[in-house]
Amino acid sequence: MQPMPKPRQSPSKVRARQRVRWRKWSLLLALLMAALSLGLWRFIASHRPQTLPMAHRPIAVIDAGHGAILTDGLLDAGAVWFGLREADLVMDLARRLQAALERRGWVAILTRDGEVTPFSLSGRTALARQVGANVFVSLHLNSSPSPKPHGVSVFYWHPESEPLAALLQRRLSQRLKLRDRGIQRGAFVVLLTATMPAVLVELGFLSNPQEARRLSDPVFRAQAAEVIAAALQEWWAK
């Protein structure tokens, strides 16, 4: 006796079941994609710096003085005393200041991050204008034919920069125990061409043996960077 054939389902019932299965698979696929997207978002969020957007953070351009290629093809190393080059020491100071400001929530941009800068003197302040900087800080070390002069000086040009120069002068001389040589107006290109508050810091005399010893010490440069960063934060908060 042959088995009875199974009853055939109507095409409409088959299509209905297919639609139900398709909806289930579509829902599962949507849930899977949502889970993957959430996981990816969490991964990205956990691996990016926990800082405010750039538009809501103060911006500083830090200029490590010198570092240009001169017309004769030689490097402008700035003052050179006791085997120390100004350009090298202020480059290290600039990197430390950048880190100190970033810890305080700033955006800090260097005009050079190596031995040579790609910018002319006026190009350094042009960079500051381009990025919308709130402040421009140029870092230098002083020198003299005599080994006697010592101390810190902060230069400015435009009147709007004077309060920042005065604050930096006070904090650097007090907290680093440096002779206070006072703030001065200086017609330096980076100050003349700046369209935002701009200062030039001469952090001691490399030609003075005692100050050269301090300036060569990474611990002292770290302390100086912290003092400058704290003063900038204090100025910005006013």
| pLDDT value of residue 85 | 98
- Tell me: the pLDDT tens digits for 145-180? 999 999 999 999 999 999 999 999 999 999 999 999
| pLDDT value of residue 238 | 86
| pLDDT value of residue 14 | 44
* Domain spans in the chain, listed from the N-terminal domain onward: 12-48, 54-237
Q: Which numeric CATH code is attached to 54-237?
A: 3.40.630.40
In Å, what is the CA distance from 99 to each residue of 70, 190, 219? 29, 22, 15
| pLDDT value of residue 27 | 55
Distance of CA 235 to the CA centre of its chain: 17
> Which residues does the chain have with pLDDT short of 50?
1-2, 13-16, 20, 22, 29, 32, 34-52
- Tell me: the pLDDT tens digits for 21-30? 545 555 554 5
CB neighbourhood size of 98 (10 A): 21
| pLDDT value of residue 37 | 42
pTM: 0.77
Q: Report the C-alpha gap between 9 and 157 in whole angstroms.
A: 92
